[in-house]
Amino acid sequence: MRSGKIYSSRVQDLTRSLTKRRIEGVLLMPGPNMRYFLGFHTKSWERLTLAVLPTRSLVVPTLDYEKAKSLSAARQVFHYSDEAGPKEALEEALGDLTTTIGSHGVEREFPLWISELLRDVAPGLTLTNVSDSILGMRVVKDADELNLIRRASAAVEKGIVAAKDFVRPGVTETETMFEVERNIIRAGAEETAFCVVQSGANSAMPHAEATSKTIEKGDAVVVDAGATVEGYHADITRTFFLGEPTDRQRKIYRLVLTAQTRAVECIQEGIPAQEVDRAARRVIDEGGFGEYFIHRTGHGLGLEVHEPPYIRNGNSEQLRPGMVFTVEPGIYLPGKFGVRIEDNIAVKEAGYANLTRLPKNLRWSTLRA
């Protein structure tokens, strides 16, 4: 949780933007948005936890009451025991809303069971999906948020460097994954968000997971890891070769590296997000491997590991200072190997800042077998 007036000012901004749509307030579930507007973070999913904005009332199970009072920007916290159930606490938190008719915003994931509870307690409330408005606010990061992403990035880098030291013929993908995660946590991350280690032919499947396959001489090894600091994500990929790469591996690596570098270098305020995707795709198309670059070039980073802006064809949203996203082109040759290189970039008033300081040249990426 951050100090100061950041939470009240965010709530004010949200309320102002929604008033134009005749939406009077917002009901938030546990997750990135509750953390953004109230600084409150909980994993209580089975029981009702709900924030009411703009009044900043919070309903929590008794289990979370002390934490909610000390570690949230809520003005009032209402709690309930398992015996009593949440209904009365919810009524108190809603106050006048239980008897008025009006529209309130909720997140796109808002679940049926809470809608049912509200229909009972506050039958005059209509629920409207306002996720886009909230994500539109979250897309621009302030200096403190950038700092948290930088710290998360530094931790992930230490994990990837640990993989570089750990990988040798005979270790499994899963063992390598645990080595990366262990080092990410040791480097001060709050949590690892995910970690994928793929070697040899496995590296050609960009959506799979680490397996019990042993890594062998000649393999390409894709290491893609994410972590959080105070909820903010970094997400970095490097591709290694165990032993001197073949000519084909070299060629593909250099093509991906050029594509990634070109895409990063074109980043500046005002260009459409899809321009960054096109810059990467153009290099790989011209190299003759366009059909093997089978995903978007990147995604935004913040309180979620995938959030706007999406760096893909068709997204004409203009880049603004404070946006943070991945640039991660890849080439995947089915049954053979894959290469992906991913950095985290912040848009600045002049150009951009690459938050990822890890090397990515072919020499650095070649491991002794």
- Nearer to its own copies (CB atom), residue 56 or residue 104: 104
- Residue 9: CB partners within 8 Å, gap ≥ 6? none
CB of 266 to its own copies, least distance (A): 23
CB of 175 to its own copies, least distance (A): 7
- Nearer to its own copies (CB atom), residue 114 or residue 324: 114
The H or E element containing residue 239 is strand 232-242
SS3 call for 225: strand
CB of 295 to its own copies, least distance (A): 9
- Nearer to its own copies (CB atom), residue 304 or residue 342: 304
Q: Which stretch binds its own copies (CB under 8 A): 105-113, 155-163, 257-265, 278-286?
A: 105-113
The dihedral region occupied by 325, where left means phi > 0, alpha psi between -120 and 50, and beta the remainder, is beta
The answer to whether the beta carbons of residues 51 and 30 sit under 8 Å apart is no
CB of 303 to its own copies, least distance (A): 15
The one among 1, 6, 71, 127 contacting its own copies by CB under 8 A: 127
DSSP 336-351: TEEEE-BEEEEE-SSS
Subset of 181-220 contacting its own copies (CB under 8 A): 181-182, 185-186, 207
The one among 2, 16, 75, 108 contacting its own copies by CB under 8 A: 108
Burial of 314 (0-12, 13-18, 19+ CB in 10 A): exposed
Rounded Cα distance, 11 and 339, in Å: 43
The one among 76, 98, 147, 174 contacting its own copies by CB under 8 A: 174
Specify the DSSP class assigned to residue 262: H
Backbone angles phi, psi at 247, to 5 degrees: -60, -40
| Site map (CB under 8 A) of its own copies, residues 63-102, x = contact | x------------------xx-------------------
Burial of 348 (0-12, 13-18, 19+ CB in 10 A): middle
- Residue 310: CB partners within 8 Å, gap ≥ 6? 273, 296, 298, 299, 300
- Nearer to its own copies (CB atom), residue 190 or residue 265: 190
Q: Which stretch binds its own copies (CB under 8 A): 126-134, 223-231, 320-328, 353-361?
A: 126-134
Between the CA of residue 85 and those of 30, 44, 47, 78, 95, what are the distances in Å?
18, 14, 9, 12, 18
- Does position 111 interact with its own copies (CB under 8 A)? The reply is yes
Q: Which stretch binds its own copies (CB under 8 A): 109-117, 217-225, 275-283, 333-341?
A: 109-117
CB of 297 to its own copies, least distance (A): 13
The dihedral region occupied by 216, where left means phi > 0, alpha psi between -120 and 50, and beta the remainder, is beta
- Nearer to its own copies (CB atom), residue 109 or residue 286: 109
- Does position 168 interact with its own copies (CB under 8 A)? The reply is no
Subset of 313-332 contacting its own copies (CB under 8 A): 314
- Does position 291 interact with its own copies (CB under 8 A)? The reply is no
| Site map (CB under 8 A) of its own copies, residues 232-271, x = contact | ----------------------------------------
Residue count, binding to its own copies (CB under 8 A): 28
SS3 call for 25: strand
- Residue 227 identity (one-letter amino acid): A
Q: Which stretch binds its own copies (CB under 8 A): 18-26, 175-183, 223-231, 270-278?
A: 175-183
Structure tokens at 90: 């919810």
Binding site for its own copies (CB under 8 A): 46, 63, 82-83, 106-113, 115-116, 127, 129, 131, 174-175, 178, 181-182, 185-186, 207, 306, 312, 314
